[in-house]
Amino acid sequence: MEIEELIKNYQPDESLVNLVKKTKIVLLCGISGAGKNSIQEGLLAKDSNLTRIITSTTRPPRKNNGVPERDGVDYYFFSKDQAVKKAVDGDYFEIAHVHDDIYGITADEIQRIHDSSKVALAVIDYQGVEYFRSYHPGARVIFIVPPSYDVWRERMKKRYDSDSEFQSVLPVRKSSALVELDWALNTSYCQFLINDDLDVAVEQVHAMISGQSIDDQSARQAAASILASIK
């Protein structure tokens, strides 16, 4: 079977699905520029009972701000042959083909997290959320938004070296944000959170994970307002 067909039709083993269901998982989702990764980093620094789901990839390690990525910390780095063998052997919970590389979450990673008794965190897009929830309906989903459209636009602008570069990618960014916001606002299991002040946002997400009830009505309204502005 061709690897593309195998990945397209991949189904995790029932025993692995049961292991996922026994694992406490929190999925951080949101539009680009919402601050998902910064919140995850803050949570991991704050609470040793939290751990990040480490994805595997067949792409080579990169440097982030001059710092090389580390195997087993940033990603698990596999050769394509290793990844294909794992797929054939059913050793993935989730697997995808992205730009000619293979990404996934391995059975070993799920086992590691389960055995640690820690809460697993993942920064993930809405399609990944739907995949997780299809196997683990108890996975918690927190959708993070900026406080307003103007703040979001400024955050996005700072990522680019010139205004012309920013303007060239803005339509694509807006199109993606529109889809993501519309999905979240029409998905009953999403809890919303505004990331205006990073330290406050980290505390609020931590409270959610710890079981505290957080009123997300104002965050929902912010999401709806950003969506209306994008439209």
162 and 193, same domain (yes or no): yes
187 and 132, same domain (yes or no): yes
Q: Is the pLDDT of residue 1 over 80?
A: no
75: containing domain:
53-117
68 and 108, same domain (yes or no): yes
Residue 4: predicted pLDDT? 87
103 and 45, same domain (yes or no): no
181 and 206, same domain (yes or no): yes
Q: Is the residue at 13 inside a domain? A: no
> What is the secondary structure of 81-133 as a DSSP string?
HHHHHHHHTT-EEEEEEETTEEEEEEHHHHHHHHHHTPEEEEE--HHHHHHHH
Q: Is the residue at 2 inside a domain? A: no
3-state secondary structure of 171: helix
Last residue of a domain, one of 117, 138, 172: 117
Q: What pLDDT, in 10s, does the model give residues 103-159?
A: 999 999 999 999 999 999 999 999 999 999 999 999 999 999 999 999 999 999 998
Q: Is the residue at 15 inside a domain? A: no
Which CATH number characterizes residue 62's domain?
A: 3.30.63.10
Q: Is the residue at 173 inside a domain? A: yes
Which CATH number characterizes residue 214's domain?
A: 3.40.50.300
138 and 219, same domain (yes or no): yes
78 and 168, same domain (yes or no): no
Rounded to whole angstroms, how far apart are CA atoms 149 and 185?
16
Q: Is the residue at 12 inside a domain? A: no
Give the strand order in the sheet containing 92-98. Answer: 76-77, 56-57, 101-106, 92-98
106 and 137, same domain (yes or no): no
| Beta-bridge mates of residue 64 | 67
Rounded to whole angstroms, how far apart are CA atoms 75 and 189?
28
> H or E stretch including 198?
helix 198-209
Mean pLDDT calculated for residue range 42-47:
97
Question: Could you give the count of Cα atoms lying within 13 Å of 74 in the half-sphere of its Cβ?
Answer: 13
Last residue of a domain, one of 62, 94, 117: 117
Q: What pLDDT, in 10s, does the model give residues 48-103?
A: 999 999 999 999 999 887 899 999 999 999 999 999 999 999 999 999 988 889 99
Q: What pLDDT, in 10s, does the model give residues 208-220?
A: 999 898 899 999 9
| Beta-bridge mates of residue 57 | 77, 103
Encode burial over 64-90: b for 16+ CB neighbours within 10 A, e otherwise.
Answer: eeeeeeeeeebbbbbeeeebbebbeee
163 and 176, same domain (yes or no): yes
Q: Is the residue at 11 inside a domain? A: no
89 and 150, same domain (yes or no): no
Residue 3: predicted pLDDT? 84
Last residue of a domain, one of 117, 133, 159: 117
Find tokens 């709806």 and name the residue. 224
10 Å CB burial of residue 202 (0-12, 13-18, 19+) is: buried
Q: How many domains, in total, are found in the chain? A: 2
CB within 8 A of 213, min separation 6: which ones?
Answer: none
130 and 202, same domain (yes or no): yes
> pTM for this one?
0.91
Q: Is the residue at 10 inside a domain? A: no
Q: Is the residue at 151 inside a domain? A: yes
Residue 97: predicted pLDDT? 87
85 and 103, same domain (yes or no): yes
